[in-house]
Amino acid sequence: MATARFHQALGTAQSHQNLQNSGSHHEFGNASLKLISKAFKADVGLSIRGGYSSCMRKSGVIQASTSQTSVQPVSYSPNNSFDELRRKSSEAALILIRHGESLWNEKNLFTGCVDVPLTKKGVEEAIEAGKRISNIPVDMIYTSALIRAQMTAMLAMTQHRRKKVPIILHNENEQAREWGRIFSEDTKKQSIPVVTAWQLNERMYGELQGLNKQETADRFGKEKVHEWRRSYDIPPPNGESLEMCAERAVAYFKDHVCMTMPLIPSSHMIEPQLLSGKNVMIAAHGNSLRSIIMYLDKLTSQEVINLELSTGIPMLYIFKGGKFIRRGSPAGPTEAGVYAYTRACDFWTSY
């Protein structure tokens, strides 16, 4: 069944949504999804010290079947545990890519949440990343709200074997949704939906944003700057710590809702897509991806601060039997390492 799900033409694309008082209706190709949720509301609170509130479980998980094209939400109940659903889930791929080099990476400036594009080298890194994952199925793409991550995702997909077109979903308002509708079923089937989310943004560096890293170290001292950059729970002035970044990034990844991010539709969260057998690519940033890897690999706070991610290097996980199996090294997997699993399984290479 897992093999059949990899071959199923999900044909996901720009959603057609008719807002109602009780929720919204999404159409992805031939599949439809009813989301029982109200408008997304977020209070970022980046300047508030002490982190975010604890997270609660959110009901609803997407369930896919090879025998039908509809996608039905399944509500959690006390007897229908999340762990049980994970164990019964089908096999899926999860690709993580840190964006290519940005113009401020090149200038050695603190970037954080400032929206800076890629350099020429960053463009080349994104294209090379795409070549490395060109045989791996991709059904959904998630990026941060920042252009460098979005550029990386789009450029990587230009190298994909299936040549499907990534299309950003615009859910800002009803007009954006209506104007972005696709009226050709064939075109929908050759498209991949791209969800952008601020929760996947780089951590906000506060008053360090735009400052030169070396000059900042000379001004405040290397030890203090190292503490701001590499400690887990100490934020820079009026910025986020890695712990605060992890709160929002991991909460978005999982089928949970954090108190600072109420009523996010489960279709816009990542793990439910993997549970349904969809293959997901995430293009994001060093700290938001560190946070997700901390969750996937069950790293400690000390281990995660020593984790380095190279720009433009893809990392492959397999989600199987409710577990994430890492197939590449965060430090910079070789091409052979990334492709090892594709050569071992026919249903990957034949995609």
Annotated binding residue 105: yes
269 within a domain of the structure (yes/no): yes
Is residue 303 part of the annotated active site? The answer reads no
Is there a domain that residue 29 lies in?
no
C-alpha distance across the termini of the chain, in Å: 15
What pLDDT does residue 89 have? Answer: 55
102 labelled ligand-binding:
yes
Q: Is 213 annotated as a binding residue?
A: yes
Residue 295 resides in a domain: yes
Residue 292 lies in a domain: yes
Q: Which of these is catalytic: 27, 125, 202, 240?
A: 202
d(CA 145, CA 14): 17
Identify the CATH number of the domain in which residue 180 sits. 3.40.50.1240
Q: Which amino acid makes up residue 171?
A: N
Residue pLDDT, tens place only, 306-324: 888 888 889 999 998 888 9
Question: Taking Cα atoms as reference points, which of 308, 309, 307, 262 lies closest to residue 283?
Answer: 309
Rounded Cα distance, 266 and 269, in Å: 5
The conformational region for residue 236 under phi > 0 = left, psi -120 to 50 = alpha, else beta, is: beta
Q: What does the alpha-carbon distance between residue 153 and residue 220 come to, in Å, rounded to a whole number?
A: 36
Number of domains in the chain: 1
202 is catalytic: yes
Is 86 annotated in a binding site? The answer is no
State pLDDT tens for residues 155-214.
999 999 999 999 999 988 999 999 999 999 999 999 999 999 999 999 999 999 999 999
| Domain containing residue 264 | 94-328
For residue 238, what pLDDT band results from cuts at 50, 70 and 90? very high
- Single out the catalytic residue among 26, 27, 91, 99: 99
266-300 pLDDT per residue, tens = 445 788 888 888 999 999 999 999 999 999 999 99
Residue 77 counted as an annotated binding residue: no
141 assigned to some structural domain: yes
pTM for this prediction? 0.69
Residue 271 in domain: yes
183: buried, middle or exposed (CB in 10 Å: 19+, 13-18, 0-12)?
exposed
pLDDT value at 28 more than 60? no
In-domain check, residue 8: no
Burial-class residue 72 by CB neighbours within 10 Å (0-12, 13-18, 19+). Answer: middle
On whether residue 179 sits in a domain, the answer given is: yes
